[in-house]
Amino acid sequence: MNDIPLNERIIFALDFADAEVAKDWVNKLDGHVKFFKVGLQLFLAGWWPVIDYIVDRGNKVMVDLKFFDIPETVGLAVQQLVNRKVTFATIHGNDPIIRAAVQHKEGVKILAVTVLTSFDESDMKAMGFTGSVEDLVLLRSRKAVELGCDGVVSSAREAGKLRSGIEKSFMIVTPGIRPGANVDTIQNDDQKRIATAKDAFRNGADYVVIGRPISTSPDPLATVEAIQREIDEALKEQATLG
């Protein structure tokens, strides 16, 4: 994944309830960011026209709807993305669900969501899991890649173990990115397993999904450029290490 342009490494999360607001952000970031995420909120607000708007301007789209249903329904849902110039689509689920999505992807890259970054060890225990988050992420990622997924969505904290623990080539897309060196001191954040962009790429991420740190910044373009510098530094470090 070394040939990915720097302006595609950040996937900007268009987490807005208004399609026109989302379009304004696409225009505002034009050229600086070329990859955008459309999640449930925006998709329900803008439907296909907002996706068409993004791709018609030469950008890439990650449709983050986290399909999770019976296999046939998931397969049919993935088919709806074909010929829409969608680059990534996210899914949840067990082996039959993953197989159905992969079978119908026809050029859309399928990303398996491992464990949401809003979860931590206490949430795992509350759900009855006895292992660690890292172990579950590795288990689910290994299975997803074996079944033909193009990549996974995981936090930066597990990315290093995924790179060393799975033999095949695959993409790691990392949400929960917060700028700054002291992410462990951040409180009242709905994302629990967070990291800096630099740490994400040091650990093996290919893309980072970032929303509020950019959209709430007093100077969004300066924030984008600062994060891109972090990414560039991390990639150069990785290249030096071989």
Alpha-helical (H) ranges within the chain are 6-9, 19-28, 40-55, 71-79, 95-103, 121-126, 133-146, 156-165, 197-202, 212-215, 220-241
Alpha carbon distance 105, 213 (integer Å):
32
The residue behind tokens 């990534």 is 88
Angstrom distance (rounded) from CA 194 to CA 174: 9
Q: Which residue in the list 28, 66, 85, 109 is annotated as catalytic?
A: 66
Torsion of CA 212, 214, 219, 225, to 10 degrees: 160
Closest CA to 169 of 155, 148, 198, 153: 148
> Does the annotation mark 143 as catalytic?
no
Q: Which residue in this structure is represented by tokens 């296999």?
A: 71
Residues labelled as active-site residues: 66
